[in-house]
Structure 1
Amino acid sequence: MENKKMKKAGTTHFVDLFAGKQILIPIAALLLLMIFNLIADPSFFKISMDLNSAGDHVLSGYLITILDSGSELAILAIGMTLVTAASGGQDISVGAGIAIAGSVILRVLCGTNSRPEELQAPIIVAFLVSCVVAMLFGAFNGILVAGFKIQPMVATLILYTAGRSIAAWINNNELPVVSDPTFTYFGGFIPGIPIPTPFFIAVACMIVIGLVMKFTNLGLYTQAVGINSSSARLNGLNPAFIKFLTFVILGLCVAVAALIKVSRISSINYSVIAKDIEMDAILAVALGGNSLSGGKFNMAASILGAYVIQFLTTTLYKFNVRSDAISAYKAIVVILLVVISAPVVREKLASFGKKLKPREKEVG
């Protein structure tokens, strides 16, 4: 009798946890991946100090790769979470946006010469220009969604389709190359610091969004609009502006990710850069337990979800899964997450937990 009581109590607590705390979903996924790698190949967790191509001592290993590559995805997840929460849809043009913003950075740095010996402008100027351009494209998407009430995926399909062509046009279809070694610091390592720079950039973005959420009402307004825009309007909010603002913020996140991307190779490949990254960004939001139909969100869960997605990607590469098959594995994860996050499923989990509680009392 006592054992039955303990089992039922444990089941109830398990259901309650996953029904009420979004952060536990990516944590559970992370633990599963860690256990799998620990059993399959413990060397997955090995971290060593090696020399990079510049001759600097840097940390290397699969975990460092996850921190490095997952950071740009975490940055995008910040903006994608806000867009999803406010509009109830997703921006599928972030990959094309990165191509445009990256192309702008290289255009400003290289000028009219695609392979200059010296930078034609300071890196900070090139980055700020790319921020303005990326935010303008974000505003374009925001106007279509908020002003013309077009479904987000349909609205952003325009830039998704034309974005890479625009990126190529910015540099006259040339592939500019930056020879200044300091430019590689943003997507690589700063001399003397063994941790990848993208991780520090991601942490800075997390701190900024954390402060914004703490000292402004952006999070509250975004959730209010996503839950019920009509009620939000009656309470004095402007739903159209809130949705518009989230797309602009996502545009800023795209510019930061673009800086990291083009800095990694000091150049750009318009058709390949950030390919399918929008799927990973959406998956990070879903893995964070956030409803893809909008409303309440957990930013920390989305960011953790981004690193879990990179953990999954790195694991698949580690075990020699073909690159063209990786998307299929991720698609399966998307289906599972969408089903789990569906209101019907959540309601059934909640009702199942409530049914167990009276039984516990009866057993007691």
Structure 2
Amino acid sequence: MKSLLKHRLAWPVIALAALLLLNQVFRPDFLSLRMQDGHLYGSLIDIMRNGAPTILIALGMTLVIATRGIDLSVGAVVAIAGAASCAYIAASPEPGSPVTAATAVLIAVIAGLALGVWNGFLVSTIGVQPIIATLVLMTAGRGIAQLITGGQIISVSNDPYKSIGAGYLLTLPISILITAAVFILAAVLTRRTALGTLIEAVGINPVASRLAGLRSRNIIWIVYVFSAVCAAIAGLMISSNVTAADANNAGLYIEMDAILAVVIGGTSLAGGRYTLVGTVVGAFIIQTLTTTVYTLGIPPEVTLVFKALVVITVCLLQAPKARNLLSSLKAAPKPAAKEKVAI
């Protein structure tokens, strides 16, 4: 039991299970699933579907953080991807055709690639600090999205495009299947090839890895491009779910949730070792927290405080010093009972 609690995923999994049980207590049907019109419905499905964009962005953020970097621009990339795709559909002569939807998706992905290359160029080639390099795009990105939409909310009507965020396939929401596919791809590339080891090497000691002949610059490019593409796909999900592009609010503060998910999942902000599974668990905790807030009827003005308390608790439980302190308190010897003196 003690060995299980020492695992880096132990406390995040316990926290997620506790949140789910708490919701089950207040809503007896919370964990139930039902089939309707060939689709699975239920609170768990809603958590996975609503958390899909955060999971996608957190997966890309995990690899960036593993190289001692940070990507604050993912929210802006979400807004740009949604704005570019919806603007194209709205301006197309056939706004409802599948070809238009496919082209819009391609435009969004290419935009993500270009923005990822830009971030990678600033960090790896120019040598700009990651937080500054991505802060540039974080600030300018929403302005770019506003220019694309003309400062307006662009509404579209395209069923194939809408299915990305609101459609179903094999009884499950398509957004969940897309997220699962990206997770599997990332896991295979980083755990079944040398790429994962190279990312960890760059994060642990970039100087030593460079002296050993490792092209750390290329690795950094790869992770920033992957992060931006994940953000672009998340932008497609968000915009297609509401069939509109809101350049001002789409993806707003989602980078904070992604970073929290990565930290809760057990990946260190100092770089090096990382866990994709832990990131997914962390993202589910963030999304389940939001659901719990509505379930418990917590006032909106204290929602962020409630989430902060839970996140801080989980992070403290994962800290080695906190775990050692708990272990020492449990192992502290009990005072010996006083012997009775016979008279």
| Interval containing the TM-score (normalised by the shorter chain) | 0.7 to 0.9
* 2:87 is aligned with 1:110: no
2:14 corresponding residue in structure 1: 28
2:219 corresponding residue in structure 1: 242
Q: C-alpha displacement at 1:174, in angstroms?
A: 3.4
2:338 corresponding residue in structure 1: none
Identity of aligned residues (%): 33
Q: Assess, with a 3 A threshold, how the Cα gap between structure 1 residues 23 and 321 changes in structure 2: closer, same or farther.
A: same
* 2:50 is aligned with 1:69: yes
What is the 5 A alignment of 1:1-364? 13-14=1-2, 16-19=3-6, 21-50=7-36, 56=37, 58-87=39-68, 89-111=69-91, 118-119=96-97, 121-190=99-168, 193-339=170-316, 345-346=319-320, 349=323
Q: C-alpha displacement at 1:230, in angstroms?
A: 1.0
Measured against aligned partners, the alpha-carbon deviations of 1:125-168 in whole angstroms (never above 9, x if no partner) come to 22122112112212222222223333322322222222222112
Letter in 1 for 2:16: L
Measured against aligned partners, the alpha-carbon deviations of 1:51-110 in whole angstroms (never above 9, x if no partner) come to xxxxx55433321210111122111111010001012x4212211110001111112222
Q: Assess, with a 3 A threshold, how the Cα gap between structure 1 residues 146 and 333 changes in structure 2: closer, same or farther.
A: farther
Q: C-alpha displacement at 1:201, in angstroms?
A: 0.8
Letter in 2 for 1:66: I
Report the TM-score when normalising by structure 2: 0.86
Distance in 2, matches of 1:213 and 1:266, equals 34
Q: Assess, with a 3 A threshold, how the Cα gap between structure 1 residues 45 and 275 changes in structure 2: closer, same or farther.
A: same
Aligned-pair RMSD on alpha carbons? 2.7
Describe the SS at the equivalent of 2:53.
helix
Q: Assess, with a 3 A threshold, how the Cα gap between structure 1 residues 226 and 351 changes in structure 2: closer, same or farther.
A: farther
Q: C-alpha displacement at 1:337, in angstroms?
A: 4.9
- 1:108 and 1:121 in contact (8 A); partners too: no
Distance in 2, matches of 1:219 and 1:351, equals 33
Report the TM-score when normalising by structure 1: 0.82
Q: Assess, with a 3 A threshold, how the Cα gap between structure 1 residues 203 and 117 changes in structure 2: closer, same or farther.
A: closer
Letter in 2 for 1:251: A
Letter in 2 for 1:346: P
Distance in 1, matches of 2:125 and 2:326, equals 42
Letter in 2 for 1:270: A
Distance in 2, matches of 1:325 and 1:356, equals 34
Q: Assess, with a 3 A threshold, how the Cα gap between structure 1 residues 124 and 182 changes in structure 2: closer, same or farther.
A: closer
Distance in 1, matches of 2:179 and 2:314, equals 25
Describe the SS at the equivalent of 1:187.
helix
- 2:11 and 2:314 in contact (8 A); partners too: no
Distance in 1, matches of 2:195 and 2:164, equals 29
Describe the SS at the equivalent of 1:305.
helix
- 1:108 and 1:120 in contact (8 A); partners too: no
Q: C-alpha displacement at 1:350, in angstroms?
A: 5.9
